[in-house]
């Protein structure tokens, strides 16, 4: 397990070197303050989902923030993929009557948003970052989930395999922990020069996901990184601390938490919390 984690970290550490610039806020802070319709505030202002969904990313990264029904994302017009997608998944949202839409759509309000045609015969799936199965609770949320701004080129075996397995596990954890904060996105390195489609959508070398349980008991968080290829082994082989993920991406997650809690949950994870 340690060997696999080491391989993942070594292969992606170049990203940290590129992105490890001064962590400054972007327009996300002001935009997130307006979120009310699709998020759920807890009693403690420091841990309200509106603030926990906020991510500080390197100022050099292009970022257009947009709120959709059920999730918010930061879109990168250069890569034509999201920098990250963030949402809270509550227990009652893990079930629903809204069927899978399947109708991918291009958002004219997102600069650089690709079309579904960019993925045709590309060899990659249109991989959801926020999964459709997390949006069954609301018809508009299901429709929004298929926006191409929420999509990345993803290896089919990863998309239908280990990544889908992790998504199913998240829904169980959301039920057990009275909800989860989930933030996910692609990871790029300097060597990721392959593009697909007329829009030249950039293919990432890996994907990250970070999850925070904070509602019913002491906060607990875990991060995961999956290379954009078939993923073998156990799920825990790909787990790491939030601090390790921040080193790879240059992002600052959960900065709204009180410093002592943030430092604690990001420095380690308890495998018993993430069986």
In the predicted model, is pLDDT for residue 45 greater than 50? no
Q: CA torsion, points 154, 11, 273, 257, in degrees to nearest 10?
A: -90
pLDDT of residue 4: 45
Proportion of the chain above pLDDT 90, given as a percent: 74
Cβ(225)–Cβ(187) below 8 Å: yes
Look up the domain containing 158 and give its range: 2-274
Separation CA 13–CA 150 (nearest Å): 25
In the predicted model, is pLDDT for residue 105 greater than 70? yes
In tens, the pLDDT along 72-85 reads: 999 999 999 999 99
Separation CA 116–CA 128 (nearest Å): 12
List the single range of 43-47, 172-176, 217-221, 240-244 with lowest mean pLDDT. 43-47
Beta strand residue intervals within the chain, DSSP E: 64-68, 71-76, 81-89, 125-128, 151-154, 180-187, 195-196, 201-202, 206-213, 220-227, 239-240
Nearest Cα to Cα of residue 182 among 219, 222, 153? 222
List the single range of 58-67, 92-101, 132-141 with lowest mean pLDDT. 92-101
* Total structural domains within the chain: 1
In tens, the pLDDT along 83-104 reads: 999 999 999 999 888 888 789 9
Separation CA 16–CA 214 (nearest Å): 27
The encoded tokens of residue 198 equal 């007329």
Instruction: Provide the b/e sequence for 48-70 (b: ≥16 CB within 10 Å).
Output: bbbbbbbbbbbeebebbbbbbeb
In the predicted model, is pLDDT for residue 26 greater than 90? no
Mean pLDDT of 135-150: 96
The CATH number given to whatever domain includes residue 133 is 3.40.570.10
* Cα-based distances in Å from 125 to 6, 101, 228, 256: 27, 16, 11, 34
Query: What region, left, alpha or beta, does residue 70 occupy, with left being phi > 0 and alpha being psi -120 to 50 degrees?
Result: left
Mean pLDDT of 251-266: 95
Mean pLDDT of 27-34: 33
Give the containing element (helix H, strand E) for 52: helix 49-52
pLDDT of residue 115: 98
**Angle, vertex CA 245, rays to CA 65 and CA 216, nearest 5:** 80
**Which residue bears the tokens 């690709």?**
114
């Amino acid at each position: 397990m340690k060997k696999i984690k080491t391989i993942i970290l070594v292969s992606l550490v170049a990203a940290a070197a590129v992105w490890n610039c001064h962590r400054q806020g972007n327009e996300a802070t002001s935009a997130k303050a307006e979120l009310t319709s699709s998020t759920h505030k807890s009693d403690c202002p420091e841990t309200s989902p509106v603030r926990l969904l906020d991510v500080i990313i390197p100022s050099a990264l292009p970022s257009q923030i947009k709120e959709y029904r059920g999730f918010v994302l930061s879109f990168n017009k250069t890569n034509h993929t999201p920098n990250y997608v963030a949402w809270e998944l509550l227990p009652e949202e893990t079930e629903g009557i809204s069927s899978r839409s399947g109708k991918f759509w291009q958002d004219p309000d997102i600069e650089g948003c690709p079309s579904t045609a960019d993925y045709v015969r590309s060899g990659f799936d249109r991989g959801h970052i926020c999964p459709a199965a997390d949006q069954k609770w609301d018809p508009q949320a299901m429709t929004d989930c298929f926006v191409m701004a929420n999509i990345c080129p993803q290896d089919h075996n990863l998309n239908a395999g280990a990544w889908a397995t992790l998504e199913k596990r998240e829904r169980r954890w959301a039920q057990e922990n009275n909800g989860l904060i989930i933030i996910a996105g692609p990871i790029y390195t300097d060597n990721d020069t392959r593009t697909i489609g007329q829009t030249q959508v950039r293919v990432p070398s890996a994907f990250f996901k970070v999850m925070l349980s904070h509602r019913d008991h002491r906060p607990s968080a875990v991060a995961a990184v999956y290379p954009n290829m078939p993923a073998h082994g156990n799920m825990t082989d790909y787990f790491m601390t939030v601090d390790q993920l921040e080193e790879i991406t240059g992002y600052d997650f959960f900065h709204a938490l009180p410093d002592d809690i943030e430092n604690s949950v990001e420095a380690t994870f308890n495998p018993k919390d993430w069986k």
